[in-house]
Chains A and B, each alone.
Chain A
C-alpha cells in the first residue's frame, strides 16, 4: 500500500519535471545555507570547546574588580590584590595547588626594535612551575624551563620568538625588558588555535624579577587555583568568596573581586557563539520558509490539475486518507530530495570555507559533519515538505467525488 503511494507520488512528480525541479531548488538553497552555517559554527564551537577542555574542569581564577568583566576587568579595576589576599585564600579547604602571578605591559627590545608585550611574573619553584605550566598549557620546544635561582632569565612563546620581531629570537639570545637585559633560556612549543592567540605571544619571567624591574613590591594581578576534587568546585568557589569577603571587608553581592571557574569561562564563550549562530541560522531559515511556500504552491497546483483524477480514484474506492497520503508523500519527497542535495552542497561549502581559512592560517575553523547534522537536515527538509503539503493534501482529500469528476 505504502509502496503504491510512493510510486504514485514519484510518477506524478516526474510528470511535471520542470515544476518539481524548481520546487526542489527552492528547498535546496535554504537547506544548503543552513547546513553550511551550522556546519561552520558548530565546527568552530567544537574547536573552542576542545581547546578549553584541555584546561580541565578543576581550575579557578580569582581576579580583582567586581564588574564581572573577568581578568580584563581586573586590569582596569580600582581595587587591587596583594600577596596578603593570596595568603588569605590559599589555605581554603579543597584547594590542591595555587599560584599568584603579576603581569604588566613592558617594552621589549630585541635588536633595533622595541615592542610592547605583556610580561608575566610567576613563581618558579618546581611545584608552582609545574602547576602554572599545566594551567597555561605550555611546553618547552627549545631550551629549558625557568628554574629556581634563575634571575634575568626569560621564557618566551612561539610567536614572540618567531613573528613579533623582524629577526627571530633563539635560545641564548639577549632581549631587554624595560631596559634590563634578559637571557632567553626557553622557547615554548607552538600552541596554535584560538588559545594560541593568548599563549603563543607571551613573555614569562620569575615573579621576584618582575617585582624588581617593575618596582612593584606587593601587587598581584591574578590568582590561579586547582581544586582537589572537581566535583567540589562550586563549594570551593563559595569558600574562596567567603574568605575573601571577610578579608577585604565587603558584603555578599558587593564583592570587589571576581571568582571564575574554567567552566564559567567556557560557558560565556559558548553563549556568545550560540547567539551568533542563532542569528545567522535564523536568517538562513527564512529562505527555507520561502522554499516551503514554494512547495505549498506546487502542491495546490497539482491538486487543481489532478482534480478529475482524484475524483476517479475516489469513485473506484480510494479513501480520503489514501488521497491525503498520496499528496503528503509527494510534498514530503520534494522536501527530502531538496534537503539531500542541499545538505551535500552545504557541506561542500563548509569544507571549502575550512580550506580557505586554513590558507589564511586559521586552524580552528573546522567544518562539522556529524551524523546529527546530516540526519537533522534531511529530517527537517522532509518535515518542511510535509507541513507545506498538509493543507493542499487536506483539500484534495476533502473533494467530493461527484464535484471532482464533473470538473
Chain B
C-alpha cells in the first residue's frame, strides 16, 4: 500500500520533470540559506565557547567603571590597593592585573599602531598568566624585565607588517627598543591577533603610568569554589576599598559565565533576525509547492475519478497527494542541505583567510535531521489543502471533467 503511494508520487515527478525541478529549486534555495546561516551561527557560538573553555569557567574579570567590560571612554582605573584587596578574598587562587594602551610599534622601519598589553608577572610567571588569559605561547618564551615582548599571530604570519616578525627580532614600542622572545598562537579574530604583550613593569615605564592605573584584572578561582560566590565577595571587598555604596559601584565584576551569557544572547538575537528573514523564502517555496499540487490535482481530476470509481477511498487519494508534496519538500530539503553545507564551508573558509578563524561551519546531527524533517513538514503542509480537495472530489464529477 505505502510503496504504491510512493511509486505513484515518483511517476508524477518523472512525467512532469520541469515542474518538479522548479518546485524543488524553490524549497532548495530556502533550505540552503537557512541551513548555512544556522551552521555558521552554531560554528561561531562554538568558536566563542571554545575560547571561553580555554579561558576556563573559573575566571572572574574586574574592570573599572560601571558600564561593563569594555568602555574605552572610561578613564577610571583600578589601583594596586584594589588588586591587593582582591588577592585577600578567600576562594581566590591568583590575581593578574593588566594595562592596555594603543601604542606605535616599529618594525624594520615601519611604524604601526596596535594594542600593547602589560601583564603583571609579579605573582605568577608571564607564561602562566598568559595561559590563564587563554593565550598560548607556542614559540620561544614569555617576556621578562623591561625590554622583552611576546608577538601576536599576525606579526608572525606577516600580514601586519610588510615583513614577517620572527622570535628574536627587534621592535620599537613608542621609540623604546624591545626584543621578541616569544610568539602566541592564533586567537581567531583579526583584532586580538595583533595584541602585543609586555610585562607590567615595561608598560609602566613605557607609558609613564603609576601603580594605580590598572585597566583590567583577571582572577582565577580556587578549585571547588563557585565563581559567582567569589565574585560577590570581590564586589563586597572592592566596595570597601573604593569606598562606594552598593548601587554606586565604579567597577564591574563579571564571571566567564556572565560573559558567555551576554555573548550568547547577542548571538541568538542576530541569528533569529537573519534566519527569520531567510526563512521567508521557505514560506514562498511552500506556496510554490501548494501551487504545483493544485495544478497536479486539476490535471489528474479524471485519474482521481477513475481511482475512486474502482474503489479508492478518500484517504487513499489524500495520502497519494500528501506524499507527493511531502516528497517534493524532502528532496528539495536534502539538496538544500547539501548546498547549504557547501555555502557555509565556503564562508568559513573565506573568514579564516581574513583572520576570523573563530567562524567555523558546524553540522550537528540535529541540523541535518531537522532540515530534512522541516522541509518535509513544509511540503506536507503545503500539500494538505490540494490533497484534501482531491480527496473530496465526487467520482462522477471527476470522471466527467475535461
A interface residues, Cβ below 8 angstroms from B? 18-19, 22-23, 25-26, 29-30, 33, 37, 65-69, 72-73, 75-79, 104-105, 107, 112-116, 118, 250-251, 254, 256, 279-280, 283-284, 286-287, 289-291, 293-294, 296-298, 300-301
Cβ-defined contact, B287 with A26, below 8 A: yes
Q: List 16 A-B contacts (CB under 8 A).
A: A22-B287, A29-B280, A72-B72, A72-B73, A77-B101, A77-B113, A78-B102, A78-B174, A79-B174, A113-B247, A116-B74, A286-B33, A287-B280, A290-B281, A297-B26, A297-B292
Among B33, B100, B113, B294, the residue within 8 A (CB) of A19 is: B294
B interface residues, Cβ below 8 angstroms from A? 18-19, 22-23, 25-26, 29-30, 33, 65-66, 72-76, 100-104, 110-116, 174, 206-207, 244-245, 247-248, 250, 273-274, 277-278, 280-281, 283-285, 287-288, 290-292, 294-295
Closest B residue to A67 using CB positions: B113
How long is the Cα–Cα vector from A37 to B207 in the complex, in angstroms? 47
Given A67-B113, A79-B104: A73 and B72 interface contact (C-beta under 8 Å)? yes
Cβ-defined contact, B72 with A116, below 8 A: no
Among A25, A33, A112, A115, the residue within 8 A (CB) of B277 is: A33
Among B22, B72, B281, B288, the residue within 8 A (CB) of A75 is: B72
How long is the Cα–Cα vector from A75 to B65 in the complex, in angstroms? 14
Cβ-defined contact, B281 with A287, below 8 A: yes
Residue pairs across A and B with CB atoms within 8 Å: the count is 150
Cβ-defined contact, A30 with B280, below 8 A: yes
Among B101, B116, B248, B288, the residue within 8 A (CB) of A297 is: B288
A-B interface, 5 closest residue pairs, ranked by CB to CB distance from nearest: A287-B281, A254-B111, A67-B113, A78-B103, A22-B291
How long is the Cα–Cα vector from A297 to B328 in the complex, in angstroms? 14
Cβ-defined contact, B274 with A115, below 8 A: no
Cβ-defined contact, B248 with A287, below 8 A: no
- With A283-B277, A290-B285 known, 19 other A-B pairs at CB within 8 A are A19-B294, A22-B291, A26-B284, A26-B291, A29-B287, A66-B104, A68-B113, A76-B115, A105-B74, A254-B104, A254-B111, A254-B112, A283-B278, A286-B29, A287-B280, A290-B26, A290-B281, A294-B291, A300-B18
How long is the Cα–Cα vector from A356 to B364 in the complex, in angstroms? 37
How long is the Cα–Cα vector from A251 to B106 in the complex, in angstroms? 12
Cβ-defined contact, B65 with A116, below 8 A: yes
Cβ-defined contact, B280 with A23, below 8 A: no
Contacts of B280 in A (CB 8 A): 29-30, 33, 284, 286-287
Given A67-B113, A114-B244: A19 and B76 interface contact (C-beta under 8 Å)? no
Closest A residue to B248 using CB positions: A114
Contacts of B174 in A (CB 8 A): 78-79
Cβ-defined contact, B65 with A301, below 8 A: no
Cβ-defined contact, B284 with A294, below 8 A: yes
Cβ-defined contact, A290 with B284, below 8 A: yes
Cβ-defined contact, B104 with A283, below 8 A: no
Cβ-defined contact, B73 with A283, below 8 A: no
Given A105-B76, A290-B281: A69 and B102 interface contact (C-beta under 8 Å)? yes
How long is the Cα–Cα vector from A284 to B295 in the complex, in angstroms? 27
Given A75-B73, A300-B22: A22 and B284 interface contact (C-beta under 8 Å)? no
Chain A contact surface mostly? helix
Among B113, B283, B290, the residue within 8 A (CB) of A65 is: B113
Among A30, A33, A78, A301, the residue within 8 A (CB) of B101 is: A78
Cβ-defined contact, A287 with B284, below 8 A: yes
How long is the Cα–Cα vector from A289 to B280 in the complex, in angstroms? 11
How long is the Cα–Cα vector from A385 to B274 in the complex, in angstroms? 26
Cβ-defined contact, B73 with A118, below 8 A: yes
How long is the Cα–Cα vector from A284 to B279 in the complex, in angstroms? 9
Contacts of A112 in B (CB 8 A): 245
- Nearest-neighbour CB distance to chain A for B246, whole angstroms, equals 11
Cβ-defined contact, B290 with A22, below 8 A: yes
Closest A residue to B37 using CB positions: A283
Given A29-B280, A78-B174, A116-B76: A290 and B113 interface contact (C-beta under 8 Å)? no
Contacts of A105 in B (CB 8 A): 65, 73-76
Among B29, B103, B250, B292, the residue within 8 A (CB) of A290 is: B29
How long is the Cα–Cα vector from A116 to B288 in the complex, in angstroms? 58
Contacts of B114 in A (CB 8 A): 67
Cβ-defined contact, B26 with A286, below 8 A: no
Closest A residue to B290 using CB positions: A22
- Nearest-neighbour CB distance to chain B for A41, whole angstroms, equals 12
- Nearest-neighbour CB distance to chain B for A177, whole angstroms, equals 13
Closest B residue to A36 using CB positions: B277
Cβ-defined contact, B102 with A73, below 8 A: yes
Cβ-defined contact, A286 with B278, below 8 A: yes
Among A66, A69, A104, A294, the residue within 8 A (CB) of B288 is: A294
Closest B residue to A25 using CB positions: B287
Contacts of A115 in B (CB 8 A): 66, 248
Cβ-defined contact, B207 with A19, below 8 A: no
Cβ-defined contact, B291 with A297, below 8 A: yes
Cβ-defined contact, B294 with A287, below 8 A: no
Contacts of B281 in A (CB 8 A): 30, 286-287, 289-290
Contacts of A37 in B (CB 8 A): 277
Cβ-defined contact, B19 with A297, below 8 A: yes
How long is the Cα–Cα vector from A298 to B19 in the complex, in angstroms? 9
Among A75, A280, A289, the residue within 8 A (CB) of B75 is: A75
How long is the Cα–Cα vector from A137 to B75 in the complex, in angstroms? 24
Cβ-defined contact, A283 with B274, below 8 A: yes
- Nearest-neighbour CB distance to chain A for B354, whole angstroms, equals 14
Cβ-defined contact, B294 with A22, below 8 A: yes
Cβ-defined contact, B22 with A287, below 8 A: no
Contacts of B30 in A (CB 8 A): 286-287, 290
Closest B residue to A297 using CB positions: B22
Given A294-B287, A296-B22: A18 and B294 interface contact (C-beta under 8 Å)? yes
Among A65, A107, A296, the residue within 8 A (CB) of B102 is: A65
Contacts of A69 in B (CB 8 A): 72, 102
- Nearest-neighbour CB distance to chain B for A255, whole angstroms, equals 9
Closest B residue to A69 using CB positions: B102
- Nearest-neighbour CB distance to chain A for B295, whole angstroms, equals 5
Cβ-defined contact, B29 with A76, below 8 A: no
How long is the Cα–Cα vector from A107 to B245 in the complex, in angstroms? 13
How long is the Cα–Cα vector from A23 to B289 in the complex, in angstroms? 10
Contacts of B283 in A (CB 8 A): 29, 287
Cβ-defined contact, B248 with A113, below 8 A: yes
Given A116-B76, A294-B288: A76 and B26 interface contact (C-beta under 8 Å)? no
How long is the Cα–Cα vector from A113 to B65 in the complex, in angstroms? 15
How long is the Cα–Cα vector from A115 to B249 in the complex, in angstroms? 8
Cβ-defined contact, B287 with A293, below 8 A: no
Closest A residue to B100 using CB positions: A76
How long is the Cα–Cα vector from A256 to B288 in the complex, in angstroms? 59
- Nearest-neighbour CB distance to chain B for A225, whole angstroms, equals 21
Contacts of A66 in B (CB 8 A): 102, 104, 113
How long is the Cα–Cα vector from A397 to B284 in the complex, in angstroms? 29
Contacts of A294 in B (CB 8 A): 26, 284, 287-288, 291
Given A290-B30, A297-B291: A280 and B277 interface contact (C-beta under 8 Å)? yes
Contacts of B113 in A (CB 8 A): 65-68, 77, 256
Closest A residue to B285 using CB positions: A290
